[in-house]
Amino acid sequence: MSAAIELVFSRPETTLSVTRGAARLMISLGWAPLYEVCLPNGRRADVMALSPKGQLAIVEVKSSIEDYRTDRKWGEYLEFCDEFYFAVAPEFPREILPEGPGLIVADGFGGAVLTPSPVTPLAGARRKALTLAFGRLAALRATPTG
């Protein structure tokens, strides 16, 4: 008889794994993701992605119950995206998350959308400014320095 093995990961390892899996999911859906995107209000999105149609999604990664309960700023991201998702590890207690936002469950290899995000279209001027900033950030990150 074999004993069950439980793997326990640190919060930074879980964050990295869920972030990577959420980004891989976005790519598989045709979106182009960037990590750690600063927003005009000073907040930082864990993942921001641009769709082929020009829609913007923000993915807020939650690595633990403590992370979710101590970080309530996610509402401040909503005005900067068409779609908003929480991304969590498979073992995360999803029942504590609010209803409304989309939900992604992810690990280091990929993810799945369990709850689609409602689509709240951005105003044209805001979309243009955010898309331009997103493109510039992507280009700057792709440019070798030094």
Secondary structure string (H, E, C) spanning the chain: CCCCCCCCCCHHHHHHHHHHHHHHHHHHCCCEEEEEEECCCCCEEEEEEECCCCCEEEEEEECCHHHHHHCCHHHHHHHHCCEEEEEECCCCCHHHCCCCCEEEEEECCEEEEEECCCCCCCCHHHHHHHHHHHHHHHHHHHCCCC
Task: Band the pLDDT of 145: cuts 50, 70, 90.
Answer: confident
Q: What is the pTM for the complete model shown?
A: 0.90
For the stretch 29-85, pLDDT in tens is 999 999 999 999 999 999 999 999 999 999 999 999 999 999 888 999 999 999 999
What share of the chain in percent tops pLDDT 90?
86
Q: Where are the domains of the chain?
A: 11-142
Q: Which pLDDT score is estimated for 146? A: 57
